């Protein structure tokens, strides 16, 4: 029997995956084909969606860019006549067009994503699922579990990179009749979709990791705090929770031991600040998500005043693998101070967008060029924005920098949860800093004056600069405000909000100077600083630009060179986009 797996993560669904799934279902029934049809999560190659994999006992064939009208041919030739449609296959025993995307990855967190049906607990168990918690409950004390995680060197994947074993040890040391475990799935960074993809593609691994953590610190209750904007992740989590309760893996006396544990889902209401631990706990408690002063830390006084351990999705998903394979195996991957792998969401001006998991120590250039395939349109690689609004920009000149918590921090950026946005020569770094600061300014809870007012003042300066009204001293004022916001804000949102501004000033100061002094945007991206010009030698007088101009700023007779009236031009760029002769240029 052949098995047909249709990628039905959010990326697959957006590419028509559900229609493709239904078409396969219809064809299989109509032609009475002996085949198993199932769904799977994100396979990582979002740039090739929709993806369909067909497996038989000897081999698997991965089809890319599948559409409903291709299903019939795949069914007739491959399923009925055992003749795979080779032109549509990107991976099989003999074909691998995406070798460089795959060969540099090491999958631990994503080991089951795109492989198993996330709605089938049987498939998770068949790949060793729940063996780690079973082993822990029967053979390990809490201290021994924590020792394994500590020796592995696993650092929290939520951004700060705190050692997971140390955090668990602090939780165990607290004496309380009640302790809580929380999974932080409030993934709010623009361009980030790592946690979403793991929850959609392999929810059981996260739940099993939470169970092990609960046993380690002595907790009997957990919460998964997940964004309400992730309906598919929530749906599959609910299915997974129902399945493990039915199996007796959750609840009282798990696996015949005296370990009791249950998990609830809390849907976040969309506040970015609730990714911060204390704000997240306030939200679970039913209060407004506002950070509080630390200490006391959550491990001492967390949810409802009880000791609480908080890790993110990726951190928990690592734990069962480490228990089953040993801390020594995990220690083989990564650098001296950053062990294991890191999941990144590749986005931006890159040829291969998607989800990747790489060993710590790989360089930025290797991710961009070997895995990502280079820059779209063969434009010049300019920088990467890493860590979301709390992160920063690392220039292409530092492309040999290793993915390592300490090395990334040394640049002024932070690793963050794993968003990696690739930028090319058309990206204005001042405008980019403005975008991220606008995001954090809007998401500020308003509790701290420096965060609430300081980010607003910084944003106003950046807006003025990108509109051509920058003045001498603006850069120094931005730096002064940034340093005060960092030192006076209560939580991580305010403390890291200036990072995109500070790193773009540090590495791209000449762009700020060009905006302020020369009133020019080197990337030709800021509308107020762009002048459109007609190249006389190239203009054929076709009148296409005249028709495209919404303000009537372009005049000229047919087959004669056209003219732009700069008093009427609103710099919308429609003439530039419409001209097929490249006769209109940006200055």
Q: Where exactly are the structural domains of the chain?
A: 2-97, 121-330, 341-424, 429-518, 531-586
Is the pLDDT at 110 greater than 80, yes or no? yes
Answer yes or no: are the C-beta atoms of 406 and 366 closer than 8 Å. Answer: no
pLDDT, tens digit (0-9, with 9 covering 90-100), for 193-217: 999 999 999 999 999 999 999 999 9
Residue 133 pLDDT > 90, yes or no? yes
Helix (H, G, I), strand (E, B) or coil at 547: helix
Whose tokens are 């904007």? That residue is 229
**CA 434 from chain center: how many Å?**
21
Q: Tens digit of pLDDT for each residue in 285-316?
A: 999 999 998 899 999 999 999 999 999 999 99
Q: How far is C-alpha 14 from the chain's CA centre?
A: 17
When pLDDT is cut at 50, 70 and 90, the band that residue 188 belongs to is confident
- Looking at residue 492, its pLDDT comes to 87
pLDDT single digits (tens) 336-349 = 999 999 999 999 99
pLDDT reported for residue 504? 97
Question: pLDDT tens digit string along 54-67?
Answer: 998 889 999 999 99
> Could you tell me how many residues make up the chain?
587
- Torsion sign across C-alpha atoms 393, 225, 220, 118: negative
The mean pLDDT value for 321-334 works out to 97
Q: In CATH terms, is domain 341-424 a member of 3.10.20.600?
A: yes
CATH code reported for the domain at 2-97: 3.40.30.10
Q: Which residues pair with 400 in a beta bridge?
A: none
Whether 184 shows a pLDDT value over 90: the answer reads: yes
Q: What's residue 587's pLDDT?
A: 86
Q: Look up residue 73 and give its two tokens.
A: 């041919």
Band (pLDDT 50/70/90 cuts) for residue 161 is: confident
- Which pair of structure tokens corresponds to residue 522? 């080197």
Nearest one of 413, 359, 350 to 386, comparing CA atoms: 413
Does residue 411 contact residue 513 with C-beta atoms inside 8 Å? no
Q: What is the pLDDT of residue 346?
A: 96
pLDDT at 159 over 80: no
The fold for domain 531-586 equals: Alpha-Beta Plaits (3.30.70)
Express each pLDDT in 215-238 by its tens digit: 999 999 999 999 999 999 999 999
Stated pTM of the model: 0.93
DSSP string, 441-486: HHH--S-SHIIIIIHHHHHHHHHHHHTT---TTHHHHHHHHHHHHH
Mean pLDDT of the chain: 95
Identify the residue with better confidence: 428 or 587: 428
Is residue 20 pLDDT above 90, yes or no? yes
CA nearest neighbour of 118 among 262, 266, 317 = 317
| Whether pLDDT at 264 is above 90 | yes
Of 223, 258, 255, 227, the residue nearest 241 (C-alpha): 223
Burial 456-480 (b: 16+ CB within 10 A, else e): eebbebbeebbebebeeebbeebbe
What is the reported pLDDT for 1? 83
pLDDT, residue 532, reads 94
- Which of 130-144, 182-196, 242-256 is predicted least confidently? 182-196
285 φ, ψ (degrees, to nearest 5): -75, -5
Residue indicated by tokens 């991976």: 91
Sequence-distant (6+) residues with CB within 8 A of 115 are 40, 127
The answer to whether 4 and 52 are in contact (CB under 8 A) is yes
Closest by CA to 322, choosing from 175, 59, 499, 132, is 132
Q: What is 121-330's CATH superfamily?
A: NADH-ubiquinone oxidoreductase 51kDa subunit (3.40.50.11540)
Helix residue ranges, H only, 218-274: 231-247
| Contact status, residue 576 vs residue 568, Cβ threshold 8 Å | no
What's the average model confidence in pLDDT over 103-107? Answer: 95
The predicted pLDDT at position 416 comes to 84
- Using DSSP's 3-state secondary structure scheme, residue 89 falls into strand
Residue 390 reports pLDDT greater than 90: no
pLDDT at 577 over 80: yes
Q: Where are the beta strands (DSSP E) in 92-151?
A: none
The CATH number corresponding to 429-518 among 1.20.1440.230, 1.10.1060.10, 1.10.10.10, 1.20.1370.20 equals 1.20.1440.230
- pLDDT score, position 197: 96
CA–CA separation, 519 and 418 (whole Å): 35
Residue 418 has what pLDDT? 86
- Cβ neighbors of 568 (< 8 A, separation 6 or more) are 551, 552, 553
């Amino acid at each position: 029997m052949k098995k047909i797996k249709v990628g039905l993560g959010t990326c697959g669904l957006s590419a028509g995956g559900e229609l493709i799934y239904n078409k396969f279902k219809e064809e299989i029934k109509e032609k009475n084909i002996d085949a198993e049809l199932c769904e799977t999560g994100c396979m990582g190659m979002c740039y090739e969606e929709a993806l369909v994999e067909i497996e038989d006992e000897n081999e698997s064939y991965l089809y890319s860019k599948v559409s409903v009208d291709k299903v019939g041919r795949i069914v007739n030739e491959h399923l009925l006549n055992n003749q795979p449609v080779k032109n549509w296959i990107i991976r099989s025993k003999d074909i691998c067009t995406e070798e460089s995307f795959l060969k540099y990855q090491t999958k631990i967190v994503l080991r089951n994503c795109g492989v198993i049906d996330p709605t089938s607990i049987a498939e998770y168990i068949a790949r060793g699922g729940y063996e780690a918690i079973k082993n822990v409950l029967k053979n390990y004390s809490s201290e021994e579990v924590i020792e394994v995680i500590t020796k592995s060197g696993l650092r929290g994947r939520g951004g700060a990179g705190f050692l997971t074993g140390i955090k668990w040890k602090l939780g165990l040391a607290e004496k309380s009749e009640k302790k809580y475990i929380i999974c932080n799935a409030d993934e709010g960074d623009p361009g980030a979709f790592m946690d979403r993809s793991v929850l959609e593609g392999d929810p059981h691994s996260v739940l099993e990791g939470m169970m092990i953590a609960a046993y380690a610190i002595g907790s009997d209750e957990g919460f998964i705090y997940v964004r309400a904007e992730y309906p598919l992740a929530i749906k599959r989590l609910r299915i997974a929770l129902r399945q493990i309760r039915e199996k007796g893996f959750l609840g009282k006396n798990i696996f015949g031991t005296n370990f009791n544990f249950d998990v609830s889902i809390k849907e976040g209401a969309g506040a970015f600040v609730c990714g911060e631990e204390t704000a997240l706990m306030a939200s679970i408690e039913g209060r407004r998500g506002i950070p509080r002063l630390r200490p006391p830390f959550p491990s001492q006084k967390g949810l409802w005043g009880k000791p609480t351990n908080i890790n993110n999705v990726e951190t928990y998903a690592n734990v069962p693998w480490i228990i089953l394979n040993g801390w020594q195996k995990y220690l083989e991957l990564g650098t001296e101070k950053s062990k294991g792998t890191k999941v990144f969401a590749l986005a931006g001006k890159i040829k291969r967008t998607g989800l990747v998991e790489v060993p710590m120590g790989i360089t930025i250039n290797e991710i961009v060029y070997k895995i990502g395939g280079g820059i779209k349109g063969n434009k010049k690689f300019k920088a990467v924005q890493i860590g979301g609004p709390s992160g920063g920009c690392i220039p292409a000149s530092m492309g040999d920098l290793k993915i390592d918590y300490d090395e990334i921090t040394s640049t002024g950026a932070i690793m963050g949860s794993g968003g990696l946005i690739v930028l090319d020569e058309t990206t204005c770094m001042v405008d980019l800093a403005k975008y991220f600061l606008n995001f954090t300014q809007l998401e500020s809870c308003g509790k701290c004056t420096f965060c609430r007012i300081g980010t607003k003042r910084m944003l106003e300066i950046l807006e003025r600069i990108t509109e051509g009204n920058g003045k001498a001293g603006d850069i120094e004022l931005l730096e002064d405000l940034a340093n005060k916001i960092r030192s006076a804000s209560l939580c991580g949102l305010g403390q890291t909000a200036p990072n995109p501004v500070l790193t773009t000033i540090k590495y791209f100061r000449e762009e700020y100077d060009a905006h302020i002094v020369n009133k020019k945007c080197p990337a030709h991206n800021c509308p107020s600083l762009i002048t459109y010009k007609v190249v006389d030698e190239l203009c054929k007088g076709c009148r296409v630009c005249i028709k495209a101009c919404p303000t009537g700023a372009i005049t000229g007779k047919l087959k004669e060179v056209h003219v732009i009236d700069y008093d009427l031009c609103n710099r919308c760029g429609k003439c530039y986009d419409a001209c097929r002769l490249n006769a209109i240029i940006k200055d």
